[in-house]
A and B are shown apart, each in its own frame.
Chain A
Amino acid sequence: MNPDRIKLIAVPVVLAALAAAPLALGTGYWLGLATTTLMFACLAQAWNLLGGYGGQFSYGHALFFGTGAYVTAVLQVRLGLDPWTGLIAGTIAGGAIGAFCGALSFRYGLKGSYFALVTLAFAEVFRILATSVPFTGGGAGILIPLKVSPANFQFADKAGFYYAMLILFAVSLIVTLAVERSRFGAYLVAVRENEAAAAALGIDIFRVKLGAITLSGALAALSGVFYAQFFLYLDPHIAYGSGVSVEALLAPIIGGIGTLFGPLIGAIVMRALGEVANVWTDGAPGLNLALFGLLLIIVLRFLPDGIVGLIGRLGRRHA
């Protein structure tokens, strides 16, 4: 069977398995962990679209995550809008910030580490802005009032949040699949592989990159919006901190960069490892980061195409 068709079948199968997961995970701690894992997988999926398929490594995806989170929080707290409007507005804002950041960097041909640094700088600027402007609640953060009701994107039980997040993750997965199968996706990969050749074949490199960062920004904002609803509290460091940016890029690299399921697999592996580290070290802070660093080194050294690449190679050996 050709790989295109396998993916077309695998996506609904994986989503169905995720939908059934609460049966095995119960309704307590583990379901909460699964929920944040999906949130993180959605963010990773967003990064992968731009970094994995497009080859434009962002070091500042917190920019989009934080913007999604703050837009929905501020709209609710300051303007009294409902969080579903916040979801839409936050997603659009993430895409718009992506377009703005992309227009500035790609217009001037910034690539590689220069582009990465610009995204990092953008995220930092927004972190400082969120600390200093009044309507975000400044450094003290912003609290979304508790008012449990599905109409208010707040659920009475963990399963409600889990399924809400699963839908958002499904959006990010299906968008990625659609991109893979589209002309835009072929052009995005061509730009990653060789810009001169891509341009000679009629590809407007600037437009393709701009499209990718806009889409990536919007998807990353989805996970930020969910974060705000799930924890009902935000501060500039949580939203725009570099920790978010690092997690966004580690999961796809570990799982398999530029692959459909890499971000999900990477997110699951990292969260599982984080749990193990927590148990072993009695929750010593920062140790999970050290562990992720170690994992990254191992992957870069032995698995250049991540876990998905390893599975592919094993599959071929047995075939």
Chain B
Amino acid sequence: MLEVANVSKRFGGLLAVDGASLKVAEGSIAGLIGPNGAGKTTLFSMIAGAVPPTAGEISFAGQRIDGLKSHEVCHRGIGRTFQITQPFAGLSVRENIAVGAHLHHRRRADALAAAAEVAKLVGMAGLLDRPAASLTVAGRKRLELARALATRPRLLLLDEVMAGLNPTEIGEIIGVIRGIRDSGVTVLLTEHVMQAVMSLCEHIHVLNQGRVIAAGAPSLLVTDPKVVEAYLGRAAAGRIEAGSRHAS
């Protein structure tokens, strides 16, 4: 449903994304992982239309979407959350979510009602009248999710929605994401919480220094020396490889 082909992004002298390609199948939960600064957020921003790619093509549901603006990409059916949360700080939780719901509801009353429904899905029903500025980190992450969900996307891009959450909160949000997928929404997520990635994702792409260095099922990737090296450095990769050779 989403196809990214040889996409690059250059910021001045820095090649943040370097010819990255990936595919996300409809109805799946796919992961995009990689160390800090690998280019995950930049790639998300390019898919979402917030940052124009320097090179490459992005297609969604069979149509080119690179070159579209953020709001146009949203109208096509892609929702995104921001790693650095971007709440409408002066508004209540309900009003925040209603802005997203307005995409499909012209009337204010309908958008507010839809917002309350979405809030239930992400476990924010009790916080609807709170000012967004008063939310905790976990609350803000949920709000990001709720707002994007309110636009009724077909593909949802989740940029580290678990960062800064405690284990209980992570457990809850994993349940929420599964529920979203089960309702028919395709999900592409980035995450540093490995246990979550491993349990949620059916397919994972590993990004390192802007390049996709590996892709496949989670169980296959943990033993891939390229992946281990990207995360832990060459020495560790060598030790682990030696260790597994001993064991076999």
A-side interface residues toward B, CB under 8 Å?
181-183, 185-187, 189-190, 192-194, 196-205
Q: Tell me if B54 is interfacial: C-beta within 8 Å of chain A.
A: no
Give Cα A213–Cα B133 distance, bound, in whole angstroms. Answer: 28
Give Cα A217–Cα B156 distance, bound, in whole angstroms. Answer: 39
Query: Considering only CB atoms and an 8 Å cut-off, how many residues of chain B contact the other chain?
Result: 31
| Contact (Cβ within 8 A) B71 A193 | no
| Contact (Cβ within 8 A) A183 B151 | no
User: Of residues A201, A203, A204, which shows the largest number of chain B Cβ atoms within 10 Å of its Cβ?
Assistant: A201
Closest chain A CB from B113 CB (angstroms)? 13
Q: Report if A202-B103 is in contact (Cβ < 8 Å); known contacts: A182-B108, A190-B88.
A: yes
Identify which of B17-25, B91-99, B168-176, B179-187 touches chain A. Answer: B91-99
| Contact (Cβ within 8 A) B102 A183 | yes
Give Cα A79–Cα B50 distance, bound, in whole angstroms. Answer: 51
Identify which of B74-82, B202-210, B213-221, B229-237 touches chain A. Answer: B74-82
User: Of residues A186, A192, A198, which shows the largest number of chain B Cβ atoms within 10 Å of its Cβ?
Assistant: A186
A-B pairs, 7 with minimum CB distance? A193-B88, A199-B70, A202-B74, A197-B86, A202-B103, A190-B99, A201-B100
| Main secondary structure on A side of the interface with B | helix
Give Cα A203–Cα B111 distance, bound, in whole angstroms. Answer: 15
Q: Tell me if B121 is interfacial: C-beta within 8 Å of chain A.
A: no
| Contact (Cβ within 8 A) A201 B91 | no
| Contact (Cβ within 8 A) A201 B147 | yes
Closest to B144 in A: A197
Q: Report if A201-B99 is in contact (Cβ < 8 Å); known contacts: A186-B108, A196-B50.
A: yes
| Contact (Cβ within 8 A) A200 B102 | no
B18-36 with Cβ < 8 A to chain A = none
Closest chain B CB from A318 CB (angstroms)? 19
| Contact (Cβ within 8 A) B69 A199 | yes
Closest chain A CB from B99 CB (angstroms)? 5
Inter-chain contacts of A197 with B (CB < 8 A): 82, 86-88, 147
Would you list 12 pairs from A and B whose C-beta atoms are within 8 A, ordered by A residue?
Answer: A183-B106, A183-B108, A186-B111, A190-B91, A192-B90, A199-B69, A200-B82, A201-B71, A201-B103, A201-B147, A202-B75, A204-B71
User: Of residues A189, A200, A204, A205, which shows the largest number of chain B Cβ atoms within 10 Å of its Cβ?
Assistant: A200
B-side interface residues toward A, CB under 8 Å?
48, 50, 69-71, 74-75, 79-80, 82, 86-91, 95, 98-100, 102-103, 105-108, 111, 147-148, 150-151
Give Cα A199–Cα B51 distance, bound, in whole angstroms. Answer: 12
Give Cα A182–Cα B102 distance, bound, in whole angstroms. Answer: 10
| Contact (Cβ within 8 A) A189 B71 | no
Inter-chain contacts of B108 with A (CB < 8 A): 181-183, 185-186
Inter-chain contacts of A198 with B (CB < 8 A): 88, 99
A202 interface neighbour in B82, B90, B95, B151, Cβ under 8 Å: B151
Closest chain B CB from A54 CB (angstroms)? 13
Give Cα A194–Cα B85 distance, bound, in whole angstroms. Answer: 11
| Contact (Cβ within 8 A) B95 A186 | yes
Q: Report if A200-B69 is in contact (Cβ < 8 Å); known contacts: A181-B108, A186-B98, A194-B87.
A: no
| Contact (Cβ within 8 A) B91 A193 | yes
A200 interface neighbour in B50, B98, B107, Cβ under 8 Å: B50
Inter-chain contacts of B74 with A (CB < 8 A): 199-202
Q: Report if A194-B71 is in contact (Cβ < 8 Å); known contacts: A199-B50, A201-B99.
A: no
Inter-chain contacts of A201 with B (CB < 8 A): 71, 74, 99-100, 103, 147-148, 150-151
Closest chain A CB from B130 CB (angstroms)? 15
Inter-chain contacts of A181 with B (CB < 8 A): 108
Give Cα A201–Cα B151 distance, bound, in whole angstroms. Answer: 7
Give Cα A202–Cα B153 distance, bound, in whole angstroms. Answer: 11
Inter-chain contacts of B80 with A (CB < 8 A): 200
Q: Report if A196-B86 is in contact (Cβ < 8 Å); known contacts: A186-B98, A202-B71, A203-B71.
A: yes
Give Cα A193–Cα B75 distance, bound, in whole angstroms. Answer: 21
Closest chain A CB from B118 CB (angstroms)? 12
A189 interface neighbour in B79, B86, B88, B150, Cβ under 8 Å: B88
Closest chain B CB from A151 CB (angstroms)? 40
Inter-chain contacts of B147 with A (CB < 8 A): 197, 201
Closest to B69 in A: A199
Inter-chain contacts of B100 with A (CB < 8 A): 201-202
Q: Report if A183-B111 is in contact (Cβ < 8 Å); known contacts: A199-B50, A200-B82.
A: yes
Closest chain B CB from A222 CB (angstroms)? 26
Give Cα A201–Cα B87 distance, bound, in whole angstroms. Answer: 12
| Contact (Cβ within 8 A) A199 B71 | yes
| Contact (Cβ within 8 A) A194 B151 | no
Give Cα A183–Cα B109 distance, bound, in whole angstroms. Answer: 10
Inter-chain contacts of A199 with B (CB < 8 A): 50, 69-71, 74
Inter-chain contacts of A187 with B (CB < 8 A): 99, 102
Closest chain A CB from B86 CB (angstroms)? 4
Inter-chain contacts of B82 with A (CB < 8 A): 196-197, 200
| Contact (Cβ within 8 A) B71 A205 | yes
